[in-house]
Amino acid sequence: MEKPRRCYDVVVIGAGPSGAVASSILSEKGYRVLVLEKQHFPRFSIGESLLPQCMEILESAGMLQAVVEAGFQYKNGAAFATNNQYSSFDFREKFSNGWGTTYQVQRAQFDKVLADCAAEKGVEIRYGHDVVAYKDRGNQVQLDVISEDNTYQVEAKFILDASGFGRVLPKLLGLEKESTLSPRVSLFTHIEDGINHSEYDRDKILISVCPENNQIWYWLIPFSDGRASVGLILPREIYEQNQISNHDLLRQYISKTTTMNAFLEKAKFDIDVRKMDGYSCDVTHLYGDKFALLGNAGEFLDPVFSSGVTIALKSADLATHVLDKQLKGLAVDWETEYAQPLKQGVNTFRAFVDGWYDGTLQDVIFAEDKSTQIKKMISSVLAGYAWDKKNPYVKDPNRLKVLAELCRT
């Protein structure tokens, strides 16, 4: 039987982190919120290494206790390795105020924890429901939805697109545009890591640089159950030259490293290796008259500094504050109150991503003699505090180039 057409204050597309947080905040403010999620939870997702900045937003959304009690792997920083060089950043030793620790999470479990929290706060979540059309009806928006049982319409005063890489509204409304970042391919999987190496710090994500090409790098993200996420990032043109399976290619590149290969000596690669091609994406604008884009539905940069979930949660926090005012009949400016503040942090991360691939940031990270104060400033950005304008490297990310020159000399 077809579901009756119903009207909500807000419909959120996607039940991932940004959708769960946004819907939860709005529900607690008294709005009638519906979340439409194409998949069924729990489901596999990549992006397992959180940043401390996330904790503040989860706490304000009333979700922190559930995350803490879920038993995820504790995380206090990031480590970097290349050739025989090793450098680490402890996020507790940072310039910005706020959380200095967080977690490494299996996203299937983490996303379900957040979605369940939203449901407990009164949010209606429909799993297996795919939004296929957006129609502006004047005072409201009508969405056409396909479920496993039927097709129906739902109406809302406002739509938040939290569909991540599904990018529902950018595709339906023609908002997509190419990223300025070069196209890259990601290969990744979960493994039984078998790590008992005395030098391995399980409390940090490990980023390793390929000794043959600093455009190629790897991640190792440990979980609390003896498993880990491993992945490889390489330029698309290099990937297209390979003649072997993705599994063999990942193993081959890991074998080129000194540190990571030693750590994974006893690892069991027991799950298929997945591939994501050309993951960097952008949009022409982040909002419209009756919609706003959250997280990866708007822009995704690169996984190197684990900024994805942080940007997603920050976008949810910013958007719900603006939307609350709008639904109350107050005047709002989505450009100055949402898009510009969000982009400030995104642009900070972008400068660090650009610096990673042009070698600038790698020179800084692997410099032998680091100023304690400057290291704290860099650590703050790596910890997700990309919106702290008191940090000189947030206020002017181009300072990285000057710092790199100093490190080289």
- Are the CB atoms for 88 and 118 separated by under 8 Å? no
Where are the domains positioned within the chain?
6-73+103-178+280-345, 184-277, 358-408
The residue type of 380 is: S
**Phi and psi dihedrals of 233, rounded to 5?**
-120, 130
d(CA 307, CA 322): 23
In this structure, of 44-53, 60-69, 98-107, 398-407, the range with the lowest mean pLDDT score is: 398-407
The DSSP secondary-structure symbol of 305 reads G
pLDDT for residue 408: 81
| Rounded alpha-carbon distances, angstroms, from residue 136 to 88, 166, 271, 288 | 50, 21, 44, 11
* pLDDT (average), residues 339-362: 96
* CA-angle at 111, arms to 105 and 113, nearest 5°: 90
How sure is the predictor about 209, in pLDDT bands with cuts at 50, 70 and 90? very high
**Phi and psi dihedrals of 368, rounded to 5?**
-75, -40
Mean pLDDT for the chain?
A: 95
- Are the CB atoms for 359 and 401 separated by under 8 Å? no
How sure is the predictor about 22, in pLDDT bands with cuts at 50, 70 and 90? very high
pLDDT for residue 278: 87
Q: Which CATH number describes the domain made up of 6-73+103-178+280-345?
A: 3.50.50.60
CATH classification number, 184-277, choose in 2.30.30.30, 3.60.70.12, 2.10.109.10, 3.30.9.100: 3.30.9.100
- Look at residue 370 and tell me whether its pLDDT is greater than 90: no
Q: How many angstroms from the chain centroid is the CA of residue 180?
A: 18
- Are the CB atoms for 48 and 104 separated by under 8 Å? yes
* pLDDT (average), residues 46-54: 97
pLDDT in tens, 304-332: 999 999 999 999 999 999 999 999 999 99
| Rounded alpha-carbon distances, angstroms, from residue 93 to 96, 97, 372, 374 | 9, 10, 9, 11
Does the model's pTM come out above 0.85? Answer: yes
